[in-house]
Amino acid sequence: MGKKPAQKLSRREFFEKGHLYYLTHLSIDNVIFGFHDNQLKVLLLEWKDTRRWCLPGGFILKGEHIEEAAIRVLHQRTGLNNIYLQQFYAFGDPNRERSKHGIEPPLEVKNKSWLTERFVSIGYWALVEFSKVVPKPDEFSETCQWWDIDKVPTLILDHNNILEKALDSLRRNLNDYPVGRDLLPPKFTMPELQRMYETILDKQLDRRNFQKKMLALDILERLNERKQGGAHKAPFLYRFDQRKYEKAMKQGLRIGLQ
């Protein structure tokens, strides 16, 4: 772990002395996806000063692995541990901070701060179980809440672009690796699995074709149990075969061109 400040820095100290503890020019942005009511969602923060929305992000302690930093930020915002985090891209346009909102230095800070310099931000996405998350705003923000992916407002800096790139990466990931264990409840129906894929891909899929392809992946186990709820023909419940799921996470769903 990095050399942490002995005590929590005030906002002014953070502006004036943060560079003694954190790497300059480098930040982390986390795109935290959840799934609820058949809808893909993303966790956003609202800045106190400007009431503008942003991705939950943070900085990297001098001795900290960048992935540790991403995990720490994720934990601070969601209370969750042991989450699968995927690094997807580093954002390095020198103009990405042109419209830097919400982190103006406090008025009493006279000197140029490390925080007003250029930052290259490393993006991670995570899939988390919606029901287990207790969103927590940080000291710079008013609110922390889930947004439907298709209703996300204009975010600060290049955060809409970062979100878009994270979605691209997640969609591409669907082709190569299994997805769902962290988004769905332990038991789910085939229509629920399909709606998860549909909300991520933002398109309708053919029911029969979807079921055929999913079963062909050989990571699902059909239970001798049907979904409760009084429907005329209740659908079967499935769960992921943990061993096969793990194996597919390591090897990928398609190995090369064989």
Which residues of the chain form contacts with a copy of itself (CB under 8 A)?
A: 2, 23-26, 60, 62-67, 87, 89-90, 92-94, 118, 120, 122, 171-172, 174-176, 197, 201, 203, 205-206, 209-210, 213, 252, 254, 256-258
The whole-angstrom separation of Cα 70 and Cα 131 is 21
Q: Residue 111 CB, nearest distance to a copy of itself (Å)?
A: 17
Q: Where are the alpha helices (DSSP H) in 64-148?
A: 66-78
120-127 and 22-36 strand pairing: parallel
Q: Residue 93 CB, nearest distance to a copy of itself (Å)?
A: 5
The nearer residue to a copy of itself, 175 or 242, going by C-beta atoms, is 175
The whole-angstrom separation of Cα 64 and Cα 125 is 19
- The full DSSP string for 94-117 is TTTTTT--S-PPPTT--SPPGGGS
The nearer residue to a copy of itself, 62 or 132, going by C-beta atoms, is 62
Q: Residue 24 CB, nearest distance to a copy of itself (Å)?
A: 6
Helix (H) or strand (E) segment spanning residue 211:
helix 207-216
The nearer residue to a copy of itself, 106 or 252, going by C-beta atoms, is 252
Q: Residue 187 CB, nearest distance to a copy of itself (Å)?
A: 22
CA distances 246 to 238, 242, 243, 250, Å, are 17, 6, 5, 6
Q: Residue 65 CB, nearest distance to a copy of itself (Å)?
A: 5
Q: Residue 152 CB, nearest distance to a copy of itself (Å)?
A: 21
DSSP state of 130: G
The nearer residue to a copy of itself, 47 or 124, going by C-beta atoms, is 124
Contact indicator for 177, 248 with CB cutoff of 8 Å: yes
The whole-angstrom separation of Cα 61 and Cα 124 is 17
The nearer residue to a copy of itself, 186 or 256, going by C-beta atoms, is 256
Q: Residue 150 CB, nearest distance to a copy of itself (Å)?
A: 17
The nearer residue to a copy of itself, 67 or 241, going by C-beta atoms, is 67
CA distances 28 to 67, 106, 107, 147, 247, Å, are 9, 22, 26, 20, 29
Task: State phi, psi for 105 to the nearest 5 degrees.
Answer: -65, 150
The nearer residue to a copy of itself, 25 or 132, going by C-beta atoms, is 25
